[in-house]
Chains A and B, each alone.
Chain A
Amino acid sequence: MKRPAIGPWITIIIGAIYFLVPLVATFEFSLRMKRGEYSFEAYRVVFGDPNFQASFTYSAVIAIAAILVGVLLVVPTAYVVQLKLPRLRPLVEFITLLPLVIPAIVLVFGYIRMYNSSSWIPLTNSARGTDFLLTCAYVTLALPYMYRAVDTGLRAIDIRTLTEAAQSLGSSWPRILFQVILPNVRVAVLSGAFLTFAIVIGEFTMASLLNRPAFGPYLQLVGANRAYEPAALAIIAFIITWACMGLIQLFGGGRRSDTRR
């Protein structure tokens, strides 16, 4: 009965080659900046570039802001929907899936129409206003993953008992939410947060169309003008994504939602 499994092996080996060759090739390419020898020159140039530092910092700050807003928005909603308003669940889930249905470029087009300088809420008039808009745009992009992660986390604990216990001990609602519920779903929140970071840090379309000096547009600019630095940046971006996914696994055993853009 036990046949040697040749087919699966061939599949996996071909898959592994397809996945690994671009990484190896990119790494090799990134080392070739100095003629005739391998060196980390491209990385030195990239890390020394003030635009790299500025755009990366900018995107990291926006990402952290988006994570905070996302958590503040999603945790109370998911909690209330599960505990008190299960009738709203289909509507809320539908809303959280919308960012997967409406492409990012269409969303940002809508923002530009809605928040342009001659509109009721002219957010794009000032740099701060546009930063706020970009933060909210990223909250929207990450909403499907953040909501899914938090919702799953809340299901895994008994929020009704926890809530009643805290209530009978006299806790106020903010206290229940932030000192009882939130610590219990911190693993889920963290995995949502890291996924948000991975999606947002190199995001190009929205940042570029809103004219903000983010990491994604910087990457594109370097790609259009340089030879070896882009390869180094690709490796750096891959390591960042890997780190985010690794941290999710480290904290939460690596269950991930299956729907993503």
Chain B
Amino acid sequence: MAESAAEPARARPRPLSLTWLGVAPFMLFALMFLIVPATLLMVGAFQDPQGNFTLQNIANLNQPTIIRAYRTSIAISAASAFGGALIGFLIAYAVALGRVPRWIRPTMMTFSGVASNFAGVPLAFAFMATLGRTGLVTALLTSIFGFNIYRYGFNLLSFGGLTLTYLYFQIPLMILIMTPAIDGLKREWREASAILGASSWQYWRMVAFPILWPSLLGAFLLLFANAFGAIATAYALTGSSLNIITILLFAQIRGDVLHDPNLGYALALGMILITGLSNGAYIWLRSRSERWMR
């Protein structure tokens, strides 16, 4: 009897050690591979090579090459996020509410899961084989319609080409995010507005859209950050010929092309700020939209 009473007493400290064991490695990992490395870069952005505090690195960001790189990156990310959000929303709407055969929805969702993860170098290969100078679609357009897109200013290795390529993972990502949100629109809302005499347009403008807009804007921001941090596709497609911020940073890490390591840290700081703002706003908007989606 005495022994069995002692059992739980001896076992008592163990849950504590489990709690500790469960969380401590995770926190240590987060410190070592997320928080400290990112902090080191941010600190480095405010240091000169001797380690003294300075704002010179931030001021040095104001060079034509760097400004242009940020600007092109933002433009490509915004364009592909806008296009992806618009087209992805339309497809999600068509799949969720558009009276199409039932098999289309799971097919589209599965495909979106695959395509949103089909990024990086292979995606660049696929678009080179499609719309590159010797790509199938380029060749077909030339031989059938006599229309050489490259003679009319199209270039896969440019702003437009890269945006078109990025859409291949942006649209599916939007479909994955928006289909559940559109499902969250309750039928009662539509019926109620129809009973009150609202047209379909009025329903969308005054009921559905105000409910969906946090999801829509949030998804746009997520897509933006998604494209902004991407590099592999652009690098495989254009080499280092396209001046976007990730490719510039890549070259800086490889060979210090800016001839100033601390300027590289400032470059990284700028990227963290942009993706941080855009993701932060996404998370905030998502928590807003979830109120309606219960």
List residues of A whose CB falls within 8 A of some B CB: 2, 5, 7-9, 11-12, 15, 18-19, 21-26, 28-30, 73-74, 76-77, 79-81, 84-85, 88, 92, 95, 97-114, 136-137, 139-140, 173, 177, 195, 198-199, 202-205, 209, 216, 219-220, 223-224, 230-231, 233-234, 237-238, 241-242, 244-246, 248-249, 254, 256, 258-261
Contacts and interface: CB of A to CB of B under 8 A. Distances in A.
B29 to A, nearest CB: 6
B249 interface: yes
Contacts of B172: 19
Interface stretch (B34-42, B64-72, B202-210): B34-42
A205 B177 contact: no
Interface string B117-151: 11011111111111000011100000000000000
Contacts of B95: 8, 12
Contacts of A259: 222
Describe A's contact surface by its main secondary structure: helix
Given A109-B268, A242-B114, A74 B36 contact: no
Contact of B121 (A18, A28, A85, A216): A216
Describe B's contact surface by its main secondary structure: helix
B34 A231 contact: no
6 smallest beta-carbon distances between A and B, as pairs: A8-B98, A110-B37, A103-B229, A80-B22, A8-B94, A25-B136
Given A111-B33, A254-B109, 14 more contacts: A11-B94, A15-B91, A25-B129, A26-B126, A28-B129, A101-B275, A105-B246, A106-B268, A202-B122, A224-B236, A234-B123, A246-B110, A249-B113, A256-B113
B135 A29 contact: yes
A85 B33 contact: no
B130 A25 contact: yes
Interface residues on B, range: 35 or more
Nearest to B173: A260
A223 B238 CA distance: 11
Given A12-B91, A102-B275, A77 B22 contact: yes
A233 B124 CA distance: 11
B34 A140 contact: yes
A21 B130 contact: yes
B120 A5 contact: no
A245 B34 contact: no
Nearest to A79: B22
Contacts of A202: 120-122
Nearest to B32: A136
- Indicate the member of A25, A30, A81, A203 with the most B CB atoms within 10 Å: A25
